[in-house]
Amino acid sequence: MVSLDQFKQTYIAECFELLGDMESLLIGLDIEAADTEQLNAIFRCAHSIKGGAGAFGLDSIMNFTHVLEALLDSMREGKVKPSRAAVDMLLKSVDIVTQMVNAARDNVSPQEGLGADLLENLKELAMGSGGDYVKTKQESNKKETVCLKEQRWQINFAPHETLLATGNEPLLIIRELSRLGKTEVTAFIHRVPVIEEINPTCCYVGWSIVLISSCCENDIREVFEFVSDHCDLNIAIAPEESVANEKISEVRSSNIKIAPAEEAGTRGAHATSIRVDLDKVDRLVNMIGELVITEAMLKAQTRNFIEGQFTDLMRGISELSQHTRELQEAVMAVRMQPVKSIFSRMPRIVRDISAQLGKEIRLVTSGENTEVDKTVIEQLGDPLTHMIRNSVDHGIEKPEVRIAANKPQEGTIYLSADHRGGRIVIEIKDDGAGINRSKVLAKAREKGLVAADAVLSDEECDDLIFLPGFSTADTVSNISGRGVGMDVVRRNIQNLGGTVKVVTTVGKGSLFTVSLPLTLAILDGMIVRVGTENYIVPIANIIETMRPKFEQVKRVEGHSDVINVRGEFIPVIYLSRIFNITGAENEPSKALIVLVETGSRKMGLVVDELIGQQQVVIKSLESNSDPVAGVSGATILGDGRVSLILDIAGLKPQTQTYLEAA
């Protein structure tokens, strides 16, 4: 049997979506010429949250959104004019309701007095409209509409068979209806089939309800608002005399329309999505991962076959490989989510911080529907927030400074996302002052982050902002100045297998580019041999492979060896020394070099042999091992051996040269 807690969790998930929509609509509201449709949409968000809260007995949410709903209703009727102060108040209300929903999710009571001061302000604003203020249920047991004399209502509620699939529970609806007054409920079961034909996902039962209440018809319809498209509903004033069960039966059979089976199947065809528990999706992904490993093992067993031998078996394995990849792509698509869930938070951040700093800033977003794995989405929020805050605080100038520089008074930040080469690329661009390199270098020297006599290129100077403890802020504030931010951004993005780089033009602005893998579950890698060990190099990081001549590798005193590639000197990394592998080839002219890049860095990895390209399943090492520099995870190869996956961003060149080692 499905527990009510499952429906509650569905309601909570919908609340977070509605709160996100509400915040976006409020930020996009034109105060000077508020659009009626926008106000209606904002009202519907609050109204939907309130309705569900009542069904689950979440009184704190219901009472707060009740007042919020009344204010929004006054706004859409023109009684309260939208203003900056009113929108600020409504945005704070979103924060309060979010905390209440979080408490409901965790099955704890909200903090005592949460939002009490704001609630009073909302009431004052509503009463200041000249309209009647609507009391909460704690203040009055009566509804907000005009009170009628107590009367008897006859309600016939016949859910469609598909109602349960929408996540609605009839019992909760009937329970909410009982809040309006005294109810007498009779179920009718003539649609229930024999037990062998029952589909547990279908709703076969209907109800006849007599309600004795002073409410009006709109109050009753409000209870059924969430299921109005998934039921046949009839509401009428019943005769004054007592309604006997026989009468109820007659009314039930004559007034309720029973949809034929063919029509109810038609209705089910309109459902385009369902909610699936994330744990179920994760288990499915893990099973696909094991299937990929098994498929690799089968392929490994066929490598020694003589050409033309076991052709049917080889063809079957080839088809299995193709189907496995298609299945993997289909399952991974289920985990993909649009970055809109993160992007939608940013306008609020820009609005609040720019107001604190006295700046005028507009945020322009694009590519919100670009999809990425849910695990990437979950970990991308904090880095993106830091970068947006950095652009607002350090990038965009104050209005008077911009005017003096012949710039528009209002600054602009562009936030975009798109797919490039099997990765997601997110760009944060501003039209601010750019990075003041002389100030950055001076601060880095002052904090001892670089040598006093260090000479840095423009690119190296720009890269200093990612150092731990670095900040150009002259004073510490609640926004910046503690030197914690951009270093966390780079570290978090690198932990996701991504890169971040910055390009700046003094006086014109900066562009931050974040490149991330679409998924953290499976990747395409190149298997390389170093001595007796095999390692996985992500294909996305590989530029080319080469076998250099002896004279191409140069020694730089106090630094790592470098290789001259078409006039560009690139550091050389000996994997055998990093991982202490004996028997590996250390002379580049006798080995292979795999040129890789991460962000703006390029490196040459010295390996013995290229085994081949393969799709591998990423297994995390965090639960069984401390972090290892240069290693992002592990995988199981076709021969059953465990192979480490290299983290290119974590590899560092060695100062010992192969000449010294020899």
Residue 223 has pLDDT above 50, yes or no: yes
Query: What is the distance between the alpha carbons of residues 377 and 408, in angstroms, rounded to a whole number?
Result: 34
User: Any idea which fold 151-258 has?
Assistant: Alpha-Beta Plaits (3.30.70)
Task: For residue 156, give Cα distances in angstroms to 173, 207, 208, 255.
Answer: 13, 6, 5, 8
Please give the model's pTM, rounded to 2 decimal places. Answer: 0.65
pLDDT-derived band of residue 512, with 50, 70 and 90 as boundaries? very high
Q: Is residue 354 classed as helix, strand or coil in its secondary structure?
A: helix
pLDDT of residue 551: 81
Q: Rounded to whole angstroms, how far apart are CA atoms 100 and 65?
A: 11
Q: ∠ at Cα 654 (649, 656), nearest 5°? A: 170
Closest to 452 (Cα-Cα) out of 464, 444, 460: 444
Separation CA 617–CA 629 (nearest Å): 20
For the cut 70, the answer to whether the pLDDT of residue 241 exceeds it is no
Phi/psi at 192 (5° precision) = -70, 120
Least confidently predicted of 171-175, 313-317, 378-382? 171-175
Kindly report, residue by residue over 19-53, the tens digit of the pLDDT: 988 998 888 888 877 778 888 888 888 888 887 78
Q: For position 29, what pLDDT does the model report?
A: 84
Instruction: Supply the pLDDT for residue 337.
Output: 85
- Residue 81 tokens read as 């004019």
The second-level CATH assignment, the architecture, of 4-127 is: Up-down Bundle (1.20)
φ, ψ (nearest 5 deg) of residue 412: -130, 135
Per the model's pLDDT, the better-predicted residue between 241 and 569 turns out to be: 569
Question: Region 447-458: what's the mean pLDDT?
Answer: 82
The neighbouring-strand residues paired with 183 are 211
Confidence class of residue 256 from pLDDT cuts 50, 70 and 90?
very low
130 pLDDT exceeds 80?
A: no
Work out the average pLDDT over 563-570: 89
DSSP element (H, E) containing 312: helix 311-335
* Residue 497 in tokens: 């297998």
Of the given ranges (224-233, 409-418, 439-448, 477-486), which has the lowest mean pLDDT?
477-486
Phi, then psi, of 629 in degrees rounded to 5: -60, 130
Residue type at 662 in one-letter notation: A
Is 279 buried (19+), middle (13-18) or exposed (0-12) by CB count in 10 A? Answer: exposed
What is the C-alpha separation between 243 and 185, in angstroms, rounded? 12
Tell me phi and psi for residue 661, to 5 degrees: -65, -35
Judged on CB neighbours under 10 Å (0-12, 13-18, 19+), 271 is: exposed
**What distances in angstroms separate CA 545 from CA 589, 601, 605, one per listed residue?**
13, 16, 9
For domain 339-517, give the CATH number.
Answer: 3.30.565.10
Q: Categorize the per-residue pLDDT at 482 as very low, low, confident or very high, splitting at 50, 70 and 90.
A: very low
For residues 76 and 136, which has the higher predicted lDDT (pLDDT)? 76
Which residues are within 8 A (CB) of 613 and not within 5 positions of it... i.e. 6 or more apart? Answer: 524, 525, 526, 527, 539
Query: Looking at residues 282-311, what average pLDDT do you find?
Result: 80
Q: Cα–Cα distance between 586 and 553 in angstroms, integer? A: 12
Contacts of residue 195, defined as CB under 8 A and 6 or more positions apart, other chains included, come to none
Averaged pLDDT, 132-159: 61
For residue 164, is pLDDT > 80? no
Phi-psi region of 94 (alpha: psi -120 to 50; beta: other; left: phi over 0): alpha
Q: What is the pLDDT of residues 92-106, one digit of tens each?
A: 999 999 999 999 988
Residue 375 in this model has a pLDDT that exceeds 60: yes
| Average pLDDT rounded to a whole number, residues 636-662 | 69
At 138 the pLDDT is 45
Instruction: Please check whether the domain covering 522-661 is classified as CATH 2.60.40.10.
Output: no
Mean pLDDT on 524-541 = 90
Query: pLDDT band at residue 528, thresholds of 50, 70 and 90?
Result: very high
Can you read off the two tokens belonging to residue 182? 């005294």
With a cut of 50, say whether residue 143 has pLDDT above it: no
Checking if the pLDDT of 444 tops 80, the result is yes
Closest CA to 394 of 361, 350, 433: 433
**First-to-last CA distance in the chain?**
72
Q: Is the pLDDT of residue 504 over 70?
A: yes
524, β-bridge pairs? 615
- What is the pLDDT, as a whole number, of residue 128? 63
Quote the tokens at residue 518: 């679409």
Using the predicted structure, report yes or no on whether residue 137 has a pLDDT greater than 60: no
Split at pLDDT 50, 70, 90, the class of 293 is confident
SS3 140: coil
Q: Which amino acid is at 640?
A: G
Give the domain ranges of the chain: 4-127, 151-258, 278-337, 339-517, 522-661
**Of 553, 490, 477, 537, the residue nearest 516 (C-alpha):** 490
The pLDDT value given to residue 623: 65
Lowest mean pLDDT among 139-148, 163-172, 489-498: 139-148
3-class state of residue 243 by DSSP: coil
Q: Crossing angle of helices 116-127/84-105, nearest 10°?
A: 140
Q: How far apart are CA 619 and CA 504, in angstroms?
A: 37
Hey, what amino acid is at 178? S
Query: Is residue 6 pLDDT above 60, yes or no?
Result: yes
Residues in the chain: 662
Supply the mean pLDDT for the chain: 80
For residue 293, give the DSSP letter.
H
| Residue 156 pLDDT grade (very low, low, confident, very high; cuts 50, 70, 90) | very high
pLDDT > 70? residue 621: yes
Q: Taking the CB of residue 636, how many other CB atoms lie within 10 A of it?
A: 19
Confidence of residue 605 (pLDDT cuts 50, 70, 90): very high
Tell me: pLDDT of 151 over 70: yes
- Chain center to CA of 100: 21
Residue 1 has pLDDT above 60, yes or no: no
pLDDT at 366: 93
Given a cut of 80, whether residue 190 has pLDDT beyond it is: yes
**Distance separating alpha carbons of residues 605 and 647, to the nearest angstrom:** 12
Token match 């990081």: residue?
541
Residue type, 364: V
Among 55-59, 118-122, 201-205, 410-414, name the most confident range. Answer: 410-414
pLDDT score for 4: 62
Local confidence band at 200 (pLDDT 50, 70, 90 cut-offs):
confident
**Does an H or E element contain 372, and which?**
strand 371-373
Is residue 91 within 8 A of residue 84, CB to CB? The reply is: no
Q: Which amino acid, 60?
A: S
| Neighbouring residues of 620: CB distance < 8 A, sequence distance ≥ 6 | 633
Q: What are residue 596's DSSP bridge partners?
A: 542, 603
